[in-house]
Structure 1
Amino acid sequence: MYVIGTAGHVDHGKTTLVQALTGINPDRLHEEQRRGMTIELGFAWLTLPSGREISLVDVPGHERFIKHMLAGVGGFDGALLVIAADESVMPQTREHLAIIDLLDIRHGLVVVTKADMVDPAWLPLVLDDIRTQLSGSALAQAPLVVVAARTGQGIDTLRQALDDLVNTLAVPVRRDEPARLWVDRVFSIDGFGAVVTGTLLADSLAVGMEVEVAPRGLRARIRGLQMHRSKIDVAQPGTRVAINLAGISHHDIQRGDLITVPQAIVATQRIDVRLQVAGIAPRAVSQGMHLDLFVGAAETRCRVTTLEGDAIAPGDSGLVQLHLDQPLPLWRGDRLIVRQASPSITMGGGKVIDAHPARHRRLRPEVIASLTALERATPADLCWAVVRGQLCRVSDVISQTHLSGDVVQQTLASMAMVVRFADDWVADSAMLDQVRQKTDKALASYVTRSPLRIGMPREELRRRLDLAAAAFDVLLLFWQQWYEPCGDGLIRPRGYQVQLTAAQQQVVARSLALLISTPYMPPEVSVERELLAYMQASGWVMEVAEGMVFHHQAWHEIVTWVLTTIDTQGSVSVAQLRDRFDTTRKYALAVMEYLDNKRITRRRDDVRVRF
């Protein structure tokens, strides 16, 4: 399905032509029909001689309604440039033609209307003048069809020309992008609720799907879909579609909102653009200039930062960063128009290179080189720009490249320099090797400084590697063949063991024998702090207070009894612990306070209960 739209000066017969082609009057507003002038977008459809259907969008030609024209033209696959034979090319003809060029609409027809209003002898001269004025534009070589809509002259020829035009269209079916539909009309139908219309730019929408209204972040469900007043279950990319939304009021939606899949697009207020300044622009686009920005059916004010110079002259192009007054849900590759507010004129247009860039400083060669490369980037280039030197989630790659999940997954799988692990994580393989070398070095350095520690604290290692907690955790899982957890929050090379000297082994043996001799009133042992920490990390002893160390067997017995007593009796007291193990209050109280500090138990009045 293709969308063809009209363009041209006011009162050159666009609406009459659409009605002659389709039998549908696209002027739906009473004011439009009263004044005989299109104010809002109009819609119709046509079955071509081949049996194929196309959608027709009729846009207003008056300069006061150029904003309405821009709300519709962004979804065109081809254009019908309408020029009245009795007036030839006029100011709005030139501006509409410039917009067609700036939006890169390369296919279309030139329709010369009101042929019955001029002397047949003059018509060849008019056609020559039109062809001359179209020179250098996207429609310079477009077929030229002469019609008189009121008499029907040339209408069948135009239908065939439209059929031939459709044969030349090669609009990409962008299933590698999330579904996106700019709302160009919103209204309510009694008994059904909110309805929006627009052209579906990518992927598909289906009845029952949940969608998001961006940038508002509102959710809704598709209750129904219509195309050309016929119900459909699935809307394909490139089609004009009406969507009946459930779970939302039409008051909560407006023209310029975007219907898309949830969380697919993050709104932005800063974009990098290759801006082409229109040849009809009255002056250059300069640094700091404020302009009106139009994308799809959305509009906002923006401020221009020129990145390659101080200004871009009419007819030239350059890299700019646009700072938007309002956030818009934009996508890499979106086409846009910028206009001067007063006097009202189209200044230029372009394509979004990066929808979420950092703030650039002007006149930086590295910035210009990076954006120039990004313009020509393939999916592999885009993915590599995100992954290079990084450890990140696949979902981060999807959101930053503006590619679909399937395309990102396939691209990453084909990239030899990318390592994939833990389902949703990828890394630059060279960077991963560097991180592993830093890990080995950090652990070796720690062991050298603290030879009696069984492992390095995980948090200390994470800070040394400068990794986010989530990335660090998943990396250790990926590397578990080389590193292993040990003790309480420690990490070490797999298989690493502390090597005690003969003298240290003797101290350990004497200390353990002394502690087990009086297990519930252990004497103070003379052991250096590092060795004592090693004994505790190894699970041989438990230090509950300064100088108070229990043998692990006694400690296990005490803790088991405390918890069992709480579970059977509801609580336990210091006195009960003292009496059960025939110890003193000093030891019993130290045990209870240690368990409280470790959040194993908690004090309630004079007893302990489970934490």
Structure 2
Amino acid sequence: MVPGVDRPLRNAEEIKFHVGTAEASGKLYLLDDGPWEANARGLATVALAEPLAAAAHDRFILRRPSPPATVAGGEILAAEPGERRPPRKALIERLRAYQERLAGHDPFSPEGVRARVEHALDRAGPKGATRAEISRTALLRGEAVEEALKALAASGAAAPLDSERWIHAQACRAAVEEIRAIVKEAWAGKQAFSVPLAQLKKERDWPAALWRAIEENLERSSLAARRGGKLIDPAAADALSPQDRDLAERIGAVYRETGFLSPRPDELPARLGAAERDIERILEHLCNEKRLIRLAKTVILDYGHFLDAQRKVVEAIKAKGSLNSADFKYHIDSSRKYALAILDYLDVLRVTIREDAERRLAPNYEQRMLK
């Protein structure tokens, strides 16, 4: 506020906003407690009635429209498009954090540029930002952004996710801890032995590079391991109760003995005298341990039997050039239901390729065969 103002500035007061040679009408919303008397300093938002060309660190003055008088001036810390103002509390925290990062440095000095780049990364959150996105957000040249990123990486404040995208270290740590907490909770009650990655990713629009970093952290700390599309508990086998171990052995024996005529999962409770919930939990564990393999919702095989079927498919196609389910069922002495489930699963693995009713070997199929 300028000295000698005849009356204090109040929240939602009509003002004239001047920056450079441009002028626009608007309303002043005080973020710090008001009203503001002469010589007061604080944070405020100006909501303009029309668009105006302005950017962070431009200087401005505020005038009262009637009677005309200059009442305040200052520096723009952030310029936001759109009609909706950010929530007051979040905006105050964001602007205070930005001021602390600048720490009184000229925003165009090397220290100030680093603070602006770090602030842009912080605002990007777990999605991170590319060099070009940072350049647009912070209104800085690419060369300046590159130098600032190098300095931030050296200090541990930022890290590259890949060749283009960067993330603030705090956002990366928060994302890792969020997933670690979910995994720990899942393992704690031993009610689940795996967490589907697809569901986690659906709920969090994070870049693939961040998910890779999270998985590496989980594996490095032995908290979880990736198996296909799931995170599994590597210590699950050691944590099984005696009752669970017994049930696991009984289920495993059923699938070893039944081969390619295995029972549906919903048939096991009556067959083994166990609760459906416990059956499903142990089936999940046995699949994670590669003792069983679930080919479809109702088709589960002993893992060794599946490997045998996979070998037979490859040998049959090598011998005749192609294979269909009607013929394959005789190779495994089973029904078309099981033959189709096996062939469909090999299609998903890209071991085989379906052409009408026939299957052929996919290019480089050896690299995708299960072992």
Which range, TM-score by smaller chain?
0.5 to 0.7
Is residue 584 from structure 1 mapped to residue 339 from structure 2 by the alignment?
no
Q: Which residue of 1 aligns with 2:57?
A: 333
Q: Which residue of 1 aligns with 2:300?
A: 549
Which secondary structure state, in structure 2, belongs to the residue aligned with residue 469 of structure 1? coil
Is residue 535 from structure 1 mapped to residue 277 from structure 2 by the alignment?
no
- Structure 1 contact 541–549 (Cα < 8 Å) conserved: yes
Q: How does 1:91-240 map to 2 (within 5 A)?
A: none
Q: Which of the residues 465, 475, 479 maps onto 2:213?
A: 475
Shift in Å, 1:405 = 1.2
Q: Which of the residues 121, 128, 134 maps onto 1:393?
A: 128
Q: Which residue of 2 aligns with 1:456?
A: 195
Shift in Å, 1:582 = 4.1
**Structure 1 residues 474 and 563: CA distance shift in structure 2, 3 A:** same
Q: Which residue of 2 aligns with 1:491?
A: 231
Q: Which of the residues 427, 431, 442 maps onto 2:169?
A: 427
Write out per-residue CA displacement over residues 277-323 of structure 1, whole angstroms, 9 at most, x where no aligned residue.
597x998765444444343454443322244434666x876643111
After TM superposition, the score normalised by the length of structure 2 is 0.59
Specify which structure has the higher proportion of helix: 2
For 2:94 and 2:303, the matched residues in 1 are separated by 63
**Structure 1 residues 462 and 587: CA distance shift in structure 2, 3 A:** closer
Q: Which of the residues 283, 293, 299 maps onto 2:17?
A: 293
Q: Which residue of 1 aligns with 2:74?
A: 350
For 2:60 and 2:261, the matched residues in 1 are separated by 81
Which secondary structure state, in structure 2, belongs to the residue aligned with residue 542 of structure 1? strand
Is residue 503 from structure 1 mapped to residue 246 from structure 2 by the alignment?
yes
Shift in Å, 1:601 = 6.9
For 1:366 and 1:554, the matched residues in 2 are separated by 60
Is residue 309 from structure 1 mapped to residue 34 from structure 2 by the alignment?
yes
Which secondary structure state, in structure 2, belongs to the residue aligned with residue 530 of structure 1? helix
Q: 1:335 is matched by which residue type in structure 2?
A: R
- Structure 2 contact 16–26 (Cα < 8 Å) conserved: yes
Specify which structure has the higher proportion of strand: 1
Shift in Å, 1:514 = 1.2
**Structure 1 residues 448 and 371: CA distance shift in structure 2, 3 A:** closer
Is residue 514 from structure 1 mapped to residue 257 from structure 2 by the alignment?
yes
- Structure 2 contact 126–206 (Cα < 8 Å) conserved: no
Write out per-residue CA displacement over residues 534-574 of structure 1, whole angstroms, 9 at most, x where no aligned residue.
22223333344566433334434545666898899998644
- Structure 2 contact 326–336 (Cα < 8 Å) conserved: yes
After TM superposition, the score normalised by the length of structure 1 is 0.40
Q: Which residue of 2 aligns with 1:51?
A: none
Q: Which of the residues 559, 575, 586 maps onto 2:326?
A: 575
Shift in Å, 1:419 = 5.9
Write out per-residue CA displacement over residues 421-445 of structure 1, whole angstroms, 9 at most, x where no aligned residue.
535223239x93x776665554344
State the identity %: 19
- Structure 1 contact 451–498 (Cα < 8 Å) conserved: no
Number of residue pairs aligned between Structure 1 and Structure 2: 320
Q: 1:428 is matched by which residue type in structure 2?
A: Q
- Structure 1 contact 387–397 (Cα < 8 Å) conserved: no
Q: Which residue of 2 aligns with 1:405?
A: 145
- Structure 1: stretches of 5+ with no match in the other structure: 1-275
**Structure 1 residues 288 and 375: CA distance shift in structure 2, 3 A:** farther
- More deviation, 582-591/340-349: 340-349
- Structure 2 contact 24–48 (Cα < 8 Å) conserved: yes
Shift in Å, 1:352 = 0.9
Is residue 359 from structure 1 mapped to residue 86 from structure 2 by the alignment?
yes
The structure whose Rg is larger is 1
Shift in Å, 1:489 = 1.9
Write out per-residue CA displacement over residues 29-48 of structure 1, whole angstroms, 9 at most, x where no aligned residue.
xxxxxxxxxxxxxxxxxxxx
Which secondary structure state, in structure 2, belongs to the residue aligned with residue 534 of structure 1? helix
- Structure 2 contact 27–47 (Cα < 8 Å) conserved: yes
Aligned CA RMSD, in angstroms, stands at: 5.3
Which secondary structure state, in structure 2, belongs to the residue aligned with residue 353 of structure 1? coil
- Structure 1 contact 452–530 (Cα < 8 Å) conserved: yes
Write out per-residue CA displacement over residues 304-351 of structure 1, whole angstroms, 9 at most, x where no aligned residue.
2244434666x8766431112344453321022455678877665432
Q: 2:286 is matched by which residue type in structure 1?
A: M
Q: 1:469 is matched by which residue type in structure 2?
A: W
- Structure 1 contact 286–312 (Cα < 8 Å) conserved: no
